[in-house]
Structure 1
Amino acid sequence: MFRRLRQRRIDKARAYVEGTLIRAAAHDLDTLHVLDVLKSERKGSAARVVDEDGRTFDAWFWWYQAKTGELVVCRNPGDVGRAVLHDDRIAIGTERERGVIDRVPRDVMNSYLVSTTTRQA
């Protein structure tokens, strides 16, 4: 019984994350997986992230409190709201506008990552 429930939860997580990735690609948005939160302040947070291509870098999320393990959907690098700050962090958004559009919670991302590793095995 619990095996079926666990499998159903993993299947729902896979559908949710893959749907989010498809919608983000259709609207020319970036998805960033938050590896670690470096600093959190009232105006935003700094985090170590990895993009779709596997590149790892530091990002500053204006007006958003990133959480370790979640997937963040944001405007792509060509947009005005994403620039390099003085400390070599990529800025997501501006001081006047939040750059994060959507997110996938870390528990759903963890279930999705379990599903991709079991599918590859």
Structure 2
Amino acid sequence: MFGRRNARAAARWMRFAERAASDGLTIVRVLDVCQVARTGTKAVVTIYDDHRARDAWFWWDRVEAGSTLAVVFSSGYGPHSLRDGVIFVGNQTTGSGVHDRLSGPKWIVQRFRVLEVAARAHSGEVDWAAVAAELDFSDQAHLVRTFRDVVGAPPATYAKDLWPRVSPSSASADGEPGSAR
């Protein structure tokens, strides 16, 4: 459905995720870089399965907004933070905790977000605004526009027209739709 280029991107993502899992690493996505210092970078990140924005300090490493990384981290209060739950990637004495980077164009991340939207569309009634917020789209209109650009139809139309569901009332006793007696 998405072509060879997306199949290659999916294979790259799977290798990246499997390598991270086998090494006990956590996948994070850098949403925004707040400060770059001599000793590291302060950024806002989301953990792959969590989707909550968190502050992070990357010791001895420069990271860019939009990058996806496999890291080792600890959390807690920082030397310049009064908030609990700040993520510290690496440490001051041993160095960087970034072990792997998923490099490549922005469309890799976009395709996986679109695949997630398609999976949600298959599941039935969906609160698209909540899905947009969870998947880091700026708003629901951004989600719909991106999905339509990639797939060719808005998510609601995709769910309704391209993947019709069989309702129990339209199925016959032998399970075939439309052949009710």
Q: Give TM class, smaller chain.
A: 0.7 to 0.9
Which residue of structure 1 aligns with residue 39 of structure 2? 43
Residues 4-23 of structure 1 mapped to structure 2, 5 A cutoff: 7-23=3-19
Unaligned runs of 5+ in 2: 119-154, 156-181
- TM-score by length of structure 1 reads 0.77
Which residue of structure 1 aligns with residue 172 of structure 2? none
Cα distance in 2 for partners of 1:46, 1:85 equals 11
Cα distance in 1 for partners of 2:28, 2:73 equals 10
Matched residue type, 2:71: C
Give the counterpart of 1:62 among 52, 59, 66: 59
Q: Percent identity?
A: 28
Q: How many Å apart are 1:46 and its aligned residue?
A: 0.6
Which residue of structure 1 aligns with residue 71 of structure 2? 74
Work out which structure has the larger RCO, using CA pairs closer than 8 Å and 6 or more positions apart in sequence.
1
Q: How many Å apart are 1:22 and its aligned residue?
A: 1.5
RMSD: 2.1
How many residues are aligned here?
110
Q: Structure 1 pair 43/76, CA: closer, same or farther in 2 (3 Å)?
A: closer
Question: Which structure features the higher share of strand residues?
Answer: 1
The structure with the larger Rg is: 2
Q: How many Å apart are 1:42 and its aligned residue?
A: 2.0
* Contact persistence 2:73–2:87 (CA under 8 A): no
Cα distance in 2 for partners of 1:57, 1:25 equals 21
Q: State the SS of the aligned residue for 2:20.
A: helix
- TM-score by length of structure 2 reads 0.54
Which residue of structure 2 aligns with residue 28 of structure 1? 24
